[in-house]
Homo-oligomer: A and B are copies of this chain.
Amino acid sequence: MARTTGSDGEKTEAAVREAAVSLIARLGYEAMSMRQLAAEVGVQAAALYRYFPTKQDLLFMLMREHMEGLIEAWRATRPVGADPAARLAAYVENHIAFHIERRHSTHVSNMELRSLSHEKLTQILRMRTAYEKELRAILRDGVEAGLFSIEDTGLTAMALIQMMTGVIVWFRPGERLSIAEVTATYLAMTMRLVGAKSDGATTSHGAVRPFERATDAAAL
């Protein structure tokens, strides 16, 4: 009735995070009880409080790590000197690969923002804005270089992000389409949406060559 044989703080902590992401994604933050989470980990509810001070801190921790992972994945992938079309392609591929691979934590980070305190919400939104800013910069550069025809850079960036992130709503791995096919199609749609001129990486009818990286794109 106390410390159990084989118990290990690090393993428990990892199990808690994994279970929390899965449960919150499935039930929602408010609907998931601490006892439910504890049962999923195979532990009593009181034991959870070794790893975070409150339930909301757990949520914030999960969200912050998700955003940090997203920004880091982009930082490691982005082609710095390339032309806007190649940079846009890299952004789309990274975004889709990351979000498909982390469907659950994406769900959490997108749906549970309202459960954060004002202060914690601000921190998460700051990270999100920084990430979206990268896309706006690419679009702006593309317009200035005469490669894209866009009415409103900010609006287009939001539309693209909503479109791409929406993949997690309907995509299920192992069904009709592979990740590579989905990524290639979204890339083609993106290029047409921004009015990319058909040259360089794009084929004659406006579709874009798949860049042969979609399957292993998110090996962070």
Contact = CB atoms under 8 A, between A and B. Distances in A.
A205 B194 CA distance: 12
B192 A151 contact: no
A12 interface: no
Nearest to A112: B28
A189 interface: yes
B166 A28 contact: no
A115 interface: yes
Contacts of A169: 158, 162
Interface residues of A, number: 37
A155 interface: yes
Contacts of A193: 189, 192-193
Contacts of A189: 156, 159, 193
Contact of A149 (B27, B30, B206): B206
Interface string A100-123: 000000000001001100000000
Contact of A163 (B166, B177, B185): B166
A159 B152 contact: no
Contacts of A27: 114
The SS class assigned to the A binding surface is helix
A166 B158 contact: yes
A163 B159 contact: yes
Contacts of A161: 166
A165 B170 CA distance: 14
Interface in A156-197: 156, 158-163, 165-167, 169-170, 177, 182, 185-186, 188-189, 192-195
A194 B190 CA distance: 10
**A114, A165, A167, A192, most chain B CB atoms within 10 A:** A192
Given A149-B205, A192-B193, A195-B205, 17 more contacts: A28-B28, A111-B111, A149-B206, A151-B188, A151-B207, A152-B177, A155-B185, A159-B163, A159-B166, A159-B186, A160-B163, A161-B166, A162-B163, A162-B165, A162-B167, A162-B169, A195-B206
Q: Which 5 A-B pairs have the closest CB atoms?
A: A162-B166, A30-B30, A163-B163, A193-B193, A30-B31
